[in-house]
C-alpha cells in the first residue's frame, strides 16, 4: 500500500504544473485561436501534456485516473484549430457492484459480481443488486449470454424511492446474439441504492458493472500491505477491513488502536452499516466463525469499547462469545487521502499542501477574461471526498454597449471577452477623439466610453494662387467652385465637395499662366516623346526578333550563336521605320568577333533590327526565353544625303532615321570600307 501511495504521489507531482499552469480554452475568445487553455479534468483524474501551457494547436491531452479508479471515456483529446478541445472528457469511476450479492431464484442461490470468467447467471424474472451505499451512478455496463432475450430495461432506484432509468428503455443493438458484447449505458442518477435488470423473457447475464464517480477507493484508506489485513470496502466514508490475526477481544482492540492503520473496532453502527458488514463478510472466500467488533458483554449487559452501554441486543451481534476467546477482528478507520479534485476548462487549481491529505484545501481561479462559477475553495474531508463540486469558468460578458446616437456594430456577434464593437455616427456626423473601435476587457467592461460625434465640417477650403474659390457652407455635401484669374488656366477639378471624412474632395486645383504652361507642355512633350519612342522601340524589337526568326529553320532556343544570314539578304520588303544593320557591313577590329551594332549618331535612334547571330537566346526553366541584345554604339558620319522620295530606301542594306515628321535614310559604307580609330573617336574613311 505504501508503494501504491508513492506511485500516486509521484503522478500528482508530475501533473501539478499542468493543473495550475496557463491552459487552453473550451470557450475560446472570439479572436483567432492560436492555442487552447486548460481542458476539463474530472474528479479522481489527471491529465498529462508533453509541454506546459498554453497549449498550441494540435496538442494532445492524455487522461488517467487515480489508483483504484478506472477511466470511462476517451484517453486522449486534441486541441483544435478553433481553440477548443476535441471530444468529451472522460470520467474516473469505481465499480460499486463489485462484490455485491444478488439472488438467482431458479437456482435458489446467492451469487456475487463479478462472476468467474465464462459463467453467466440466468433467470426469467429480474436481477436485483443492492449497493452498499447511496452512489452517484455515471454508467452501467452489461454483457448478455447467447441464451438471453433482448434486454428490456435497466432501472436505478434512489434512496428517495424514485426510479431513474439508464440508457434506452429498449436498447436495439444488444440482443440474444450479442454474446461477449458489452453495452455501456450512460446515466445521470444520484443516491442510487438498488439496480434492477430485466429482459423480455429469458435473461442470461454474464457481466454487470455499475460505475460511480463519488465512491472512495480502498487505497485512500492508507492501510498497510500486510497479508493479514483484508480490505472489505468503504461505506459512508469509513474504511472497513478484516484482520486475520487471532486474538482475544482486549488484544484485538489494542492492536486496532495502536497499529499503523490508526483504526478501532467498529462501534455504534446502524442497521445499514451492520448489514453492509454482514453481506460483505458472507462474500469472503474463507470467512472466520466470528469477528470481534467494538461491543463486549460481561454476560449481563453489552457495552461499547469506551464503556458506554448498548441498547437492545441487535441480531448482527450474533451469539455471545467470551472475551477471552481468540478470534479475528473488524478494523474501521477513516480515509487518509483524497484524490485529484479536478479542474474546470480554462481554470487553475492550487493546494494548501503537497499532497491530497485529509484537511487539504484546493483554491480555484480562472484564466484572464474568464470568471468563476461556483465555490473558489474546496476541502478534502474526513470521508476522503472533496467538498462541493468543481467550479466552472465562463467568458466574461461585457453586456450591451452603452447607448449611442448612431450605429453600433458587433464585429464578433457577441459581447464576450475579446469581442470588438465599432461605433458609426449618424450621417452628417463623424467620431472625434480617437478610434471608433472598443473591446470587451477581462474586467467585464468595454475599453472606453462611446466616442463623441461632431457635425461634419470641412472648414474653409484652401485658397488657390492666382485664382478665387466660392462657397457658402462648409458642412457635409457643401460645394466650393474655383476659378482662375485672367491669363491663367485651371488645372484639376473646378468643383470640390465636403465629404463624410471632413475633408474637401477631390484636391483643390491650381492655376498656371498660359505662357508657363506652354513651356511645360513643350518640354514635357519632348521628354515624353523620347520615352515613348524608347519603349516602343524595345517592344517592337523583341516582337520582330521572335516572329522573324521563329520562322527561320536555323532558329532555336539554343544559347549558341547562329550563322549569319546570306549576304544577299534583300531589304526591299522591310517595314518602314526600322534601322537595318548587317554584320557584313562592319569589319571586326583586331581580328576579334564584334557583337556591337554601330549606327550613325547624327539623329536620335528609333528602332533597330539586328541579324540573329548577334543575339543570345536561352530557354529558362520556367519556359520563358532570356534574350541578350548586342551593344549599340554611335559612330560619326558625314552629312546625311537627302532623297526625293523619303519613304523609299535606295539601297538593300540601309539605316533609317525617323524624325518627328519625315524619315531620312543613310547609305551605309561599302563592304570594303575600313574603320579606323583616331583620337577624336570612331570615323569612316
Same domain membership, residue 113 and residue 6: no
Number of CB atoms found within 10 A of residue 412's CB: 15
Of 522, 538, 524, nearest to 627 by C-alpha is 538
Which of the four pLDDT bands, split at 50, 70 and 90, describes residue 200?
confident
- What value does the CA radius of gyration of the chain take, rounded to a whole number of Å? 50
Q: Do the beta carbons of residue 38 and residue 24 sit within 8 Å?
A: yes
Same domain membership, residue 358 and residue 269: no
Same domain membership, residue 669 and residue 571: yes
Same domain membership, residue 241 and residue 195: no
What pLDDT is attached to residue 579? 45
CATH of the domain at 313: 3.10.100.10
CATH of the domain at 109: 2.60.120.260
- Among residues 455, 487, 512, which one ends one of the domains? 455
* Rounded-to-integer distance, Cα 557 and Cα 620, Å: 10
Q: Which CA distances in Å does 398 have to 368, 401, 434, 538? A: 14, 8, 21, 65
**Ordered alpha helix ranges (H), 267-312:** 271-282
User: Helix (H, G, I), strand (E, B), or coil: what is residue 621?
Assistant: coil
Same domain membership, residue 285 and residue 208: no
CATH of the domain at 431: 2.10.70
Residue 490: inside a domain, yes or no? Answer: no
Q: What is the DSSP string of 55-71?
A: EETT-EEEEEE-TT-EE
Cell numbers for 310: 448498548
* Rounded-to-integer distance, Cα 101 and Cα 279, Å: 7
What's the length of the chain?
685
Q: Do the beta carbons of residue 475 and residue 499 sit within 8 Å?
A: no
Greatest C-alpha distance within the chain: 158
pLDDT at residue 434 tops 70: yes
Per-residue pLDDT, averaged over 474-495, amounts to 89
* Rounded-to-integer distance, Cα 335 and Cα 353, Å: 17
Of 552, 578, 549, 566, nearest to 649 by C-alpha is 578
Q: Which CA distances in Å does 330 have to 305, 313, 404? A: 13, 19, 75
Cell numbers for 407: 450605429
Same domain membership, residue 671 and residue 561: yes
pLDDT tens readout for residues 368-390: 999 999 999 999 999 999 999 99
User: Helix (H, G, I), strand (E, B), or coil: what is residue 539?
Assistant: helix
Cell numbers for 266: 467498529
What pLDDT is attached to residue 408? 94
pLDDT at residue 461 tops 50: yes
CATH of the domain at 36: 2.10.70.10
What pLDDT is attached to residue 342? 96
Same domain membership, residue 312 and residue 195: no
* Rounded-to-integer distance, Cα 98 and Cα 115, Å: 10
pLDDT tens readout for residues 40-94: 999 999 999 988 888 999 999 999 999 999 999 999 999 999 999 999 999 999 9
Same domain membership, residue 173 and residue 111: yes
Same domain membership, residue 232 and residue 207: no
Per-residue pLDDT, averaged over 426-446, amounts to 90
Residue 487: inside a domain, yes or no? Answer: no
Gap between the terminal Cα atoms of the chain:
116
What pLDDT is attached to residue 324? 77
Cell numbers for 335: 480515509
Q: Per the structure, how many domains does the chain have?
A: 5
Residue 339: inside a domain, yes or no? Answer: no
Cα 157 off chain centre by = 43
- Among residues 212, 233, 255, which one ends one of the domains? 212
**Lowest-confidence pick of 148-157, 321-330, 414-423, 509-518:** 509-518
Same domain membership, residue 374 and residue 425: no
What pLDDT is attached to residue 558? 38
Q: Which CA distances in Å does 599 have to 343, 616, 636, 655, 662? A: 88, 20, 9, 8, 19
Residues 68-81 as b/e (b if ≥16 CB within 10 A, e otherwise) read bbebbbeeebbbbe
Between 31 and 212, the higher pLDDT residue: 212
Residue 444: inside a domain, yes or no? Answer: yes
User: Which sign, positive or negative, has the C-alpha torsion 356, 359, 360, 362?
Assistant: positive
Stated as kind and residue range, the H or E segment containing 291 is strand 291-292
Q: What is the pTM of this model?
A: 0.62
- Among residues 191, 212, 233, which one ends one of the domains? 212
Which of the four pLDDT bands, split at 50, 70 and 90, describes residue 555?
very low
| Host domain of residue 30 | 2-93+352-387
Which of the four pLDDT bands, split at 50, 70 and 90, describes residue 520?
low
Residue 190: inside a domain, yes or no? Answer: yes
Which of the four pLDDT bands, split at 50, 70 and 90, describes residue 23?
very low
User: Helix (H, G, I), strand (E, B), or coil: what is residue 99?
Assistant: coil
pLDDT tens readout for residues 161-174: 999 988 654 444 44
Which of the four pLDDT bands, split at 50, 70 and 90, describes residue 302?
confident
Same domain membership, residue 363 and residue 285: no
Same domain membership, residue 162 and residue 247: no
509-517: list long-range contacts, CB under 8 Å, 24+ apart. Answer: 509/464, 509/467, 509/482, 510/464, 510/465, 511/464, 511/465, 511/466, 511/467, 511/484, 511/485, 512/488, 513/466, 513/487, 513/488, 513/489, 514/487, 514/488, 514/489, 517/489, 517/491
Q: Do the beta carbons of residue 343 and residue 38 sit within 8 Å?
A: yes
Cell numbers for 638: 558625314
Mode of pairing for the β-strands spanning 579-580 and 608-609: parallel
Q: How many CA atoms lie within 13 A of 593 on its CB side?
A: 7
Residue 279: inside a domain, yes or no? Answer: yes
Peptide bond into 626 cis (omega under 30): no
Amino acid at each position: 500500500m505504501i508503494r501504491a501511495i508513492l506511485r500516486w504521489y509521484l503522478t500528482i507531482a508530475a501533473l501539478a504544473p499542468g493543473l495550475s499552469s496557463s491552459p487552453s480554452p473550451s470557450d475560446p475568445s472570439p479572436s483567432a485561436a492560436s492555442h487552447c487553455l486548460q481542458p476539463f479534468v474530472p474528479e479522481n483524474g489527471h491529465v498529462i501534456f508533453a509541454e506546459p501551457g498554453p497549449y498550441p494547436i494540435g496538442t494532445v491531452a492524455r487522461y488517467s485516473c487515480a489508483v483504484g479508479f478506472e477511466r470511462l471515456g476517451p484517453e486522449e483529446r486534441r486541441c483544435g484549430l478553433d481553440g477548443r478541445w476535441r471530444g468529451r472528457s472522460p470520467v474516473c469511476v469505481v465499480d460499486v457492484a463489485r462484490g455485491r450479492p444478488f439472488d438467482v431464484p431458479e437456482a435458489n442461490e446467492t451469487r456475487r459480481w463479478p462472476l468467474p470468467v465464462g459463467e453467466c447467471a440466468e433467470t426469467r424474472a429480474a436481477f436485483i443488486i443492492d449497493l452498499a451505499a447511496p452512489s452517484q451512478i455515471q454508467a452501467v455496463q452489461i454483457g448478455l449470454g447467447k441464451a438471453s432475450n433482448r434486454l428490456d430495461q435497466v432501472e436505478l432506484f434512489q434512496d428517495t424511492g424514485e426510479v431513474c432509468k439508464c440508457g434506452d428503455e429498449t436498447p436495439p443493438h444488444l440482443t440474444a446474439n450479442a454474446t461477449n458484447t458489452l453495452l455501456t449505458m450512460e446515466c445521470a442518477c444520484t443516491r442510487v441504492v438498488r439496480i434492477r435488470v430485466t429482459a423480455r423473457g429469458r435473461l442470461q447475464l454474464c457481466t454487470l458493472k455499475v460505475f460511480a464517480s463519488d465512491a472512495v477507493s480502498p487505497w485512500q484508506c492508507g492501510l498497510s500491505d500486510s497479508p493479514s489485513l483484508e480490505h472489505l470496502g468503504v461505506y459512508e466514508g469509513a474504511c472497513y477491513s478484516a484482520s486475520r490475526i487471532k486474538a482475544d477481544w482486549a488484544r484485538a482492540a489494542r492492536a486496532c488502536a495502536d497499529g499503523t492503520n490508526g483504526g478501532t473496532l467498529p462501534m455504534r453502527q446502524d442497521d445499514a452499516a451492520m448489514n453492509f458488514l454482514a453481506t460483505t463478510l458472507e462474500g469472503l472466500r474463507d470467512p472466520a466463525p466470528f469477528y470481534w467488533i467494538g461491543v463486549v458483554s460481561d454476560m449481563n449487559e453489552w457495552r461499547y469499547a469506551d464503556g458506554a452501554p448498548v441498547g437492545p441486543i441487535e441480531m448482527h451481534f450474533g451469539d455471545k462469545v467470551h472475551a477471552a476467546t481468540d478470534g479475528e477482528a473488524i478494523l474501521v478507520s477513516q480515509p487518509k487521502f483524497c484524490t485529484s479534485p479536478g479542474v474546470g476548462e480554462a481554470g487553475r487549481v492550487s493546494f494548501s499542501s503537497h499532497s491530497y491529505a485529509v484537511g487539504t484545501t484546493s483554491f480555484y481561479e480562472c484564466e484572464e477574461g474568464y470568471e468563476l462559477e461556483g465555490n473558489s475553495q474546496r476541502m478534502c474531508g474526513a470521508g476522503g471526498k472533496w467538498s462541493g463540486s468543481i467550479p466552472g469558468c465562463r467568458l466574461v460578458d461585457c453586456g450591451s454597449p452603452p447607448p449611442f446616437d448612431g450605429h453600433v456594430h458587433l464585429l464578433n456577434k457577441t459581447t464576450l471577452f475579446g469581442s470588438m464593437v465599432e461605433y458609426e455616427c449618424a450621417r452628417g456626423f463623424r467620431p472625434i477623439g480617437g478610434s471608433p473601435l472598443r473591446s470587451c476587457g477581462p474586467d467585464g467592461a468595454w475599453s472606453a466610453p462611446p466616442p463623441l460625434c461632431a457635425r461634419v465640417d470641412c472648414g474653409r477650403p484652401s485658397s488657390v494662387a492666382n485664382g478665387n474659390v466660392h462657397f457658402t457652407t462648409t458642412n457635409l455635401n457643401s460645394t466650393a467652385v474655383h476659378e482662375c484669374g485672367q491669363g491663367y488656366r485651371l488645372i484639376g477639378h473646378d468643383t470640390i465637395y465636403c465629404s463624410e471624412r471632413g475633408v474637401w474632395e477631390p484636391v483643390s486645383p491650381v492655376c498656371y499662366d498660359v505662357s508657363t504652361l506652354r513651356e511645360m507642355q513643350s518640354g514635357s512633350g519632348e521628354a515624353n516623346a523620347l520615352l515613348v519612342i524608347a519603349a516602343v522601340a524595345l517592344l517592337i524589337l523583341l516582337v520582330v526578333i521572335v516572329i522573324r526568326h521563329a520562322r527561320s529553320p536555323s532558329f532555336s532556343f539554343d544559347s549558341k550563336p547562329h550563322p549569319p544570314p546570306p549576304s544577299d539578304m534583300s531589304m526591299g520588303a522591310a517595314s518602314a521605320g526600322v534601322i537595318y544593320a548587317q554584320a557584313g557591313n562592319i569589319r571586326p577590329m583586331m581580328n576579334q568577333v564584334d557583337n556591337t551594332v554601330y549606327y550613325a549618331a547624327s539623329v536620335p535612334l528609333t528602332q533597330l533590327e539586328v541579324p540573329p547571330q548577334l543575339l543570345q537566346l536561352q530557354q529558362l526553366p520556367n519556359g520563358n526565353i532570356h534574350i541578350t541584345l548586342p551593344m549599340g554604339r554611335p559612330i560619326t558620319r558625314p552629312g546625311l544625303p537627302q532623297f526625293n522620295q523619303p519613304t523609299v530606301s535606295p539601297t538593300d542594306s540601309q539605316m533609317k532615321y525617323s524624325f518627328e515628321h519625315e524619315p531620312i535614310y543613310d547609305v551605309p559604307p561599302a563592304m570594303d570600307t575600313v574603320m579606323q580609330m583616331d583620337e577624336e573617336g570612331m570615323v569612316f574613311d
